[in-house]
Structure 1
Amino acid sequence: MIQKRLSLKNLALAAALIVPLCLLYARAGAEFAIGIVDILFFAESVRRRDWAWARAPWFVIGLIWWAAELICSAPIPALGLGAAGWKSFTQALVLIRLLVFAVALGTWVLDTAPARARFWAVIAACEAWIFLQSWQQEILGVNIFGAHRWPDGALTGPFWAPRAGPPYAHLLFLALLPVIAALLTRRSTAARLGAAVLGVLGFATALIIGQRMPFLLAGLGLAVAALMFRPIRLPAIALGVLALLAIPALRVVSKPSFDKLVVETSHQVGNFAKSPYGELYTRAAVMIGRSPWHGYGFNGFLYFCKQPRFDGGLPALGIGPTSLKRGACNIHPHNFYLQAGVDAGIGGMALFAALNIAWLLALGRGLTRRAEPMRLGAFIGVLTYAWPLASTDNFAVLPMAGWLFVMLGLGLALVKSSLSEPAFLYSERQCEFSAIGPFS
């Protein structure tokens, strides 16, 4: 019986380990692996009759948000609900798979130090792959698949479209901080120099990729790391200043990146209301205003955005009518919170915001008292994903949603183990680290 339980858990860990790899190139494979983890986790919960994990505050809020999405997506014309039909309801129904995946990782699959170390190593390998392919494309002009830089100047890294920036920025500190911390334990000049080089190259990559929002989110992550992790505080501040000074140098080093980050950004900020993002956000706000209580169901922006009744703009804010020709409609509104509002009204948006806050509270517990690099990296990854002032992908759609719940699951597992099996402990008095896992 013990061997059977171990085999089931090992199978779940094997499935979990392939999720990050599949998120790079095989979304269907990632969905299948997530499903395997969920099924095995439910089977184990039934066997043990243990449902304590379902009482976690963040999970309870997640269930309420999910229920709101289901209700607003249910095709009940008499109540004005679910205008998009059963397709929207089905898409809302499967949202639960991601919540269960995160809690499975956090409470069962990654409940040992070796499992967490292996899972982190796979995530770090994915980040290293994006890093290497971005620099290959920058230096040689093509990535391993022969793909060139995107026409707007952004690097595509190991992909065929400009998708490198978001996952790279979200995973950056989770991948780097444990390595930098381990190098700093050695106290030698070479180790400290290596830590500095890793930090500079890691952050510089977010700059040369040339995608605005990922670079800004990497800057947010750097600020949080400097605030919460004292050993790198001064170097991180210096790196931030250096990055700001380096932006003008991009004109010489990588003019396409400079044009994307500086020239195009300046133009869009100066005319934001009429920019594609401004049009999308205005359109989403108008849609929420027209149906503030129940929205339009999951993916409502995709199904109803093009209707002329949403052309009006926001006159009270001095924002004129939107236009499809200027990009007012897309498959999603490029902001998670606006998407939640379009899907399930103001209540749905509030629940989604509460869910994100609950995630951060759960991951941040005790971090201010004891800085653990891997935990801090996971916290920063989820924070940059949950940050409301950002252009985003479609929430709950892989691959980006997969990265969120991968980081969340690992972070929850680290929180659970922080007292008994800390991945990294830092003593400010003794200036010593204790590493467990891939660097021990």
Structure 2
Amino acid sequence: MPYSEKIENRLRGSALVFLCLIPVLLLFARGPADVALSLVGILFLVRSALRRDWAWAREADILALLVALLMLVAVAAPFGEYPGKNFTRGLIWVRFVVFYAAATRWLITDRKVVHILCWVVSATLLLAALDALFQFVTGYSLLGGQKMASFAGRLTGPLDRPNIGIYVSKLAFSVMALAFVARQGFGDKKAFVFSAMVMLPVLAVIFLSGERTASVLTLAGIVAVVIGLFFVGGRARLISIGLGIAGAAGIGALLTFSSRIAGRLADLEHVVSDYAASIYGQLALMGWRFFTEHPLTGIGMGSFEKVCKAEMPPESLEFGCYPHPHNIYMEWLSSGGLAGTLPWLVFIVLVVWAGLRMIRFGEQQTVLVALYLATLNVSLFPFAATQSAFSNWPAILAWMSISCAVAALRVFKDSRALAR
């Protein structure tokens, strides 16, 4: 059957529905969110097969990811500690590569989709933030029923674990990047204003959540946006100064009046001051050790905890064994060795450089560049204590946010904004 516009619209419409469902499903269930992400990729592959169009696989950033996947499956897995498990975990990672390609080259490519995503993702963030704030006031989540006391006073919102801060922080900067494109590229002021207003409760939740990584990385992103606004000049410069003053005052008040947040900051200072002795330092050093023992291929994906228990029994470790080293770069090095990590680093360099190159097009683009780099920073900052890069919930969240940011940059470059 020949490929037609009707088939294209049906495939793209279905994929868009699943794309919009991902952030909603992530609040309540990992499995369905993973299914939605996988279906986006499958529909894209069906479309590529019907059109006999595989040109996207040759584009530099996607090609780097495909090479990383090939290294994980064909090189790291056979020489890993548990080849069968390593091969399976490596092979199913393809869904994130295809999803990234689908989102950035097929779905998020025009005004309509940017508009829809701004409203859907922002509304989802608003729901999550309001529930978390309700939990902060009452002590329990209205949507999920979780109690703050069960998680040492940390917010969860609808989630079943205290990760609401990182959830909203990863999506917040990416949806604002899309909202900026909607405003500057297509004149869609309503979507921009709605997304911007949602950021108020979102930022409150991040800094009230007690999540140190989310708070610090978000603060860095805010600083980048303030600097970006300052360079635009005019009224934007006044807004940047106002945001800087308001942000500094808000954080100062939070640390002054919340002993819980001040205690979390003190804990962070303790970890940073003696990183090697902390749980995060020990896990990172363990990942580095596994890498030095298997520098070319690593130990294979999904093997960190099992290798840890085999080589260093938990009773001999102060903190025991964990499924991953809590640093995505150490996880890549220990799991994929140089074979898998080098193409992954090439991908990171490509997407970061794509953002930096936008600055040359004028001062107006500095805000978009700041939002773009802030999105990448939340997921890719090299010294952060992170969740696993390969587990479904954090990986889905990371690839959703990165894909939206990369797509926002590409759509903006293709819009008329640069011509004005």
Cα distance change, pair 71–204 in 1 and its aligned pair in 2 (3 A) = same
1:78 equivalent in structure 2: none
Find the aligned partners of 1:15 and 1:267 in 2 and give their Cα distance. Answer: 43
Aligned: 1:387 with 2:390:
no
- Residues 66-110 of structure 1, C-alpha deviations (whole Å, 9 max, x = no match): 1121134433xxxxx122131221110011111111111111122
Structure (1 or 2) with the greater helix fraction: 2
Three-state SS of the structure 2 residue aligned to 1:306 is helix
Cα drift, residue 330 of structure 1: 0.6
Report matched runs for 1:26-425 at 5 Å.
26-75=29-78, 81-144=79-142, 145-149=144-148, 150-176=150-176, 201-229=201-229, 230=232, 232-233=236-237, 235-236=239-240, 239-240=243-244, 242-244=246-248, 246-247=250-251, 249-250=253-254, 253-260=257-264, 262-308=265-311, 325-369=317-361, 370-371=364-365, 377-421=371-415
Deviation of residue 238 (structure 1)?
5.1
- Consecutive unaligned residues of structure 1, counting only runs of 5 or more, are 76-80, 185-192, 312-321, 428-440
Confirm whether residue 6 of structure 1 aligns to residue 14 of structure 2.
no
Deviation at 1:115, TM superposition (A): 1.7
Pick which of 103-112 and 336-345 moved more.
103-112
Looking at structure 2, the residues matched to 363 and 25 of structure 1 have their Cα atoms a distance apart, in angstroms, of: 33
Please identify, of 205-214 and 30-39, the stretch whose mean Cα deviation from structure 2 is larger: 30-39
Q: Which runs of 5+ in 2 are unaligned?
A: 185-192
Aligned residues of 2:181 and 2:411 also touching (Cα < 8 A) = no
Shift of 1:341: 0.4
Residues 1:25 and 2:28 aligned together = yes
- The structure-2 alpha-carbon separation of the partners of 1:425 and 1:129, relative to structure 1 and needing over 3 Å to count, comes to farther
Larger mean Cα displacement after TM superposition, 169-178 or 299-308: 169-178
Instruction: Measure the CA separation in 1 of the matches of 2:40 and 2:25.
Output: 14
Q: CA deviation at 1:21?
A: 1.5
User: How big is the shift at 1:227?
Assistant: 2.7
Distance 1:282 1:74, change over 3 A: closer
Contact kept in structure 2, 1:129 and 1:158, CA below 8 Å: no
SS in 1 for 2:162: coil
Q: Distance in 2 between matches of 1:55 and 1:194?
A: 37
SS in structure 2 at match of 1:390: coil
Q: How many residues align?
A: 403
1:88–1:298 CA contact under 8 A, matched in 2:
yes
Distance 2:132 2:237 in 1: 27
Aligned partners of 1:183 and 1:11: how far apart in 2?
A: 26
Partner letter of residue 109 of structure 2?
D
The SS at the match of 1:418 is: helix
What displacement does 1:130 show? 2.4
Q: Following the alignment from structure 1 to structure 2, what is the Cα–Cα distance between the partners of residues 89 and 170?
A: 29
| Letter of the 1:346 counterpart | L
Distance in 2, Cα, partners of 1:210 & 1:243: 17
Q: Distance in 2 between matches of 1:224 and 1:390?
A: 17
* RMSD of aligned alpha carbons: 3.3
Percent identical pairs in the alignment equals 24
- Rounded Cα–Cα distance in structure 1 between residues aligned with 2:176 and 2:350: 25
Deviation for aligned residue 1:252: 5.7
- Give the whole-Å Cα distance in 2 for the aligned partners of 1:16 and 1:196: 21
| Shift in alpha-carbon separation, 1:33–1:251, aligned structure 2, 3 A | closer
CA contact (8 A) 2:80 2:86 kept: yes
Deviation of 1:298 after TM superposition, in Å, equals 0.8
Q: Is the 8 A contact 1:183 1:195 kept in 2?
A: no
